[in-house]
């Protein structure tokens, strides 16, 4: 029986080969590229955009679901795709299109593959939903911007799965997360550059998990992602080796009462808005 060390070295070699062959990494679907190109065209009409997005029924359904989710407060839920786009605006539609693509890009080749993906996706959406809730409560950054940045910061975690295509080659959950700790940032940067996303998202990947990094004087995108990551780790692994919350550079930007800390060492804000976080996450499942 192979030792864990030798088994891990085999998986490392597979992931390293993946990183060297960019063509093996997922590409954005043609419909996503068409929609993003149209969204960037100032002359595009709303009717033309509705027709284009309507070619992707899954995205249309997600936009409808998202516009009626806990992220938005309105007296009457939109009933048509035309109303949804008018409510959300071009920038938010672009971000939701990217979120939709992230989930649909990673083909599930086997039951073991699906198991790892579902575990990772659930963790990712709770973290992203926490980012969105914090953005809505703290200001400075829109909730959708924080949500997408948080998801994109974990693209490498999902990309690691692209290295394993057969059921027999699927690593255990423990080895998978060990591989993610070693390779997810590098893979994520490679994938985002391939997708030509804005450089600010790549910078978030670089500094995600760096608790002492916090650019600028006001709350930034990175601050929200790191606060959400901290809480996601604490909730998933209560015994994780984390610094006290008050030592985080992002935390030091918070003002009372947003900086109140609950008995469990988490932000009071997160504890008191857990239901909102779960409601946002529901729209991403």
Task: CATH number of the domain at 263, please.
Answer: 1.10.3210.10
Supply the DSSP symbol for 29.
Answer: -
Is residue 5, in this structure, part of any structural domain at all?
A: no
- For residue 150, what pLDDT is reported? 94
Cα–Cα distance between 138 and 119 in angstroms, integer?
29
Residues 182 and 278 reside in one and the same domain: yes
Do 174 and 246 sit in the same domain of this protein?
yes
Flag whether 10 is in a domain: no
CA distance 116 to 93: 29
In angstroms, the CA 103 to CA 108 distance is 11
- Residues 264, 146: one domain? yes
Q: Quick one: pLDDT at residue 109?
A: 66
> What does the block give as tokens for 90?
């071009």
Rounded-to-integer distance, Cα 200 and Cα 183, Å: 20
Residues pairing with 261 in the sheet: 267
pLDDT of amino acid 107: 61
Question: Quick one: 244 and 273 in the same domain?
Answer: yes
CA distance 137 to 141: 10
Q: What is the largest CA-CA distance in the chain?
A: 63
pLDDT for the residue 134: 96
pLDDT of residue 71: 67
Check residue 210 and give its pLDDT.
95
**Domain of residue 272, residue span:** 108-282
- Structural contact between residues 259 and 252, judged by C-beta atoms closer than 8 angstroms: no
Cβ distance 244 to 266 under 8 Å? Answer: no
Among candidate residues 155, 165, 160, 159, the one with its CA nearest the CA of residue 112? 165
pLDDT on residue 22: 56
How far is residue 113's CA from residue 106's CA, in Å, rounded to a whole number? Answer: 10
Last residue of a domain, one of 73, 105, 137: 105
Same domain? For 131 and 259 the reply is yes
Q: Per residue of the chain (285 residues), what is the pLDDT tens digit?
A: 456 566 768 777 777 777 776 556 777 888 888 888 887 788 888 889 889 988 888 888 888 887 777 666 665 677 889 888 888 888 788 878 887 788 777 666 678 778 888 888 888 999 999 999 999 999 888 888 899 899 999 988 888 887 776 666 788 888 888 888 888 898 889 888 888 888 999 999 999 999 999 988 899 999 999 999 999 999 888 888 899 999 999 999 999 999 999 999 999 999 999 999 998 888 777
Same domain, 241 and 160: yes
CA distance linking residue 177 with residue 171, whole number of Å: 9
**Distance (Å, whole) CA 261 – CA 130:** 16
Say how far apart CA 97 and CA 95 lie, in whole Å: 5
Residue 9 maps to a domain: no
How many domains does the chain fold into? Answer: 2
Picking from 72, 105, 138, the residue at the C-terminal end of a domain is 105
252 within some domain: yes
Among 72, 90, 105, the domain-final residue is 105
Structure tokens at 68: 């009626």
DSSP string, 249-279: TTGGG--TTTT-B-TTSSBHHHHHTHHHHHH
- Nearest by Cα to 103 from 61, 69, 73, 42: 61
Q: Is the peptide bond before 257 cis (omega within 30 degrees of 0)?
A: yes
Residue 108 has what pLDDT?
64
Question: Does residue 2 belong to any structural domain of this protein?
Answer: no
Please tell me whether residues 76 and 112 are part of one structural domain.
no
Residue 229 lies in a domain: yes
For residue 149, being part of any structural domain is answered with yes
Q: What is the pLDDT of residue 9?
A: 81
Looking at the fold, whether 145 and 276 belong to one and the same domain comes out as yes
| Same domain membership, residue 131 and residue 81 | no
Q: Are residues 47 and 175 in the same domain?
A: no
Residue 142 and residue 37 share a domain: no
Q: What is the pLDDT of residue 33?
A: 84
Q: Per the domain annotation, does 18 fall within a domain? A: no
Shared domain for 116 and 39, answered yes or no, is: no
């Amino acid at each position: 029986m192979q030792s864990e060390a030798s088994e891990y070295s085999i998986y490392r070699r597979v992931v390293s080969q993946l990183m060297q062959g960019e063509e093996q990494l997922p590409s954005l679907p043609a419909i996503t590229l068409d929609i993003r190109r149209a969204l960037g065209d100032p002359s595009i009409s709303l009717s033309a955009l509705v027709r284009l997005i309507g070619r992707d029924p899954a995205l249309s359904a997600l936009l409808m679901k998202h516009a009626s989710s806990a992220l938005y407060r309105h007296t009457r839920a939109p009933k048509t795709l035309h109303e949804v786009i008018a409510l959300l605006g071009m920038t938010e539609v672009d971000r939701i299109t990217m979120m939709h693509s992230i989930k649909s890009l990673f083909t599930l080749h086997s039951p073991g593959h699906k198991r790892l993906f579902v575990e990772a996706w659930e963790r990712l959406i709770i973290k992203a939903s926490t980012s969105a809730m914090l953005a809505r409560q703290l200001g400075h950054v829109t909730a959708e911007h924080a949500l997408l940045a948080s998801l994109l910061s974990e693209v490498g975690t999902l990309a690691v799965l692209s290295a394993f295509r057969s059921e027999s080659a699927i690593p255990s959950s423990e080895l998978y997360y060990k591989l993610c700790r070693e390779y997810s940032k590098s893979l994520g940067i490679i994938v985002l550059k391939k997708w030509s996303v804005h450089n600010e998202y790549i910078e978030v990947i670089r500094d995600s998990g760096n608790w002492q990094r916090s650019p600028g004087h006001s709350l930034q995108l990175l601050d929200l992602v790191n606060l959400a990551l901290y809480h996601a780790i604490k909730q998933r692994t209560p015994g994780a080796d984390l610094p006290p919350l008050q030592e985080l550079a992002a935390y030091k930007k918070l003002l009372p009462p947003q900086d109140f800390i609950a008995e469990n060492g988490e932000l009071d804000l997160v504890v008191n808005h857990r239901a909102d976080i779960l409601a946002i996450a529901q729209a991403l499942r």
